[in-house]
Amino acid sequence: MARLGVWIVWVMGLTVIASSREVKEEEWYGKKEEDVVTGLPGQPAVEFRHYAGYVNLRPLQAHKALFYWFFEAQSNSSHRPLVLWLNGGPGCSSIAYGAAQELGPFLVHSNGDKLTLNKYSWNKAANMLFLEAPVGVGFSYTNHTMDLRKLGDQVTAEDSLSFLINWFKRFPEFRSNEFYIAGESYAGHYVPQLAELIYDRNKGVAKDSYINLKGFMIGNAVINEATDMAGLVDYAWSHAIISDNLYVNIHNSCKFDEESIDDVQCWDNFKGFMQAYADIDIYSIYAPVCLSSFSSSRPRFAMSPSLLASHDLSHRLPTGYDPCTEDYVEKYFNRKDVQAALHANVTSLPYPYSSCSGVIKGWGDAPSTVIPIIRKLLNAGLRIWIYSGDTDGRVPVTSTRYSIKKMGLKVESEWRAWFHKNQVAGWVETYVGGLTFATVRGAGHQVPLFAPPPSLSLFSHFLSSLSLPSSRF
Catalytic residue status for 162? no
Burial track 436-454 (b if 16+ CB lie within 10 A, e otherwise): bbbbbbbbbbbbbbbbbeb
Q: What SS3 class is residue 51? A: strand
The Cα 425–Cα 455 span in angstroms is 9
Catalytic residue status for 461? no
Per annotation, catalytic residue among 281, 392, 399, 403: 392
Specify the pairing of strand 383-389 against strand 435-440: parallel
DSSP string, 75-131: S-GGGS-EEEEE--TTTB-TIIIIIIIISSSEEEEGGGTEEEE-TT-GGGTSEEEEE
With contact defined as beta carbons under 8 Å apart, do 357 and 330 qualify? no
Give the distance from CA 193 to its chain's centroid.
13
**Contact residues for 196 (Cβ-Cβ < 8 A; gap 6+):** 157, 373, 376, 377
For residue 435, CA distances in Å to 24, 81, 438, 447, 456 come to 44, 20, 10, 19, 19
* Residue 251: exposure state from Cβ atoms within 10 A (0-12, 13-18, ≥19): middle
Q: What SS3 class is residue 208? A: helix
Query: Residue 20 carries which DSSP code?
Result: S
With contact defined as beta carbons under 8 Å apart, do 442 and 393 qualify? no
Per annotation, catalytic residue among 93, 185, 455, 457: 185
Q: What SS3 class is residue 436? A: strand
Per annotation, catalytic residue among 445, 455, 457, 461: 445
Q: What are the DSSP E strand ranges found in 364-410?
A: 383-389
The Cα 467–Cα 464 span in angstroms is 9
Catalytic residue status for 79? no
The Cα 305–Cα 368 span in angstroms is 10
**Measured on CA atoms in the order 260, 262, 267, 270, is the torsion positive or negative?**
positive
Please list the active-site residues.
185, 392, 445
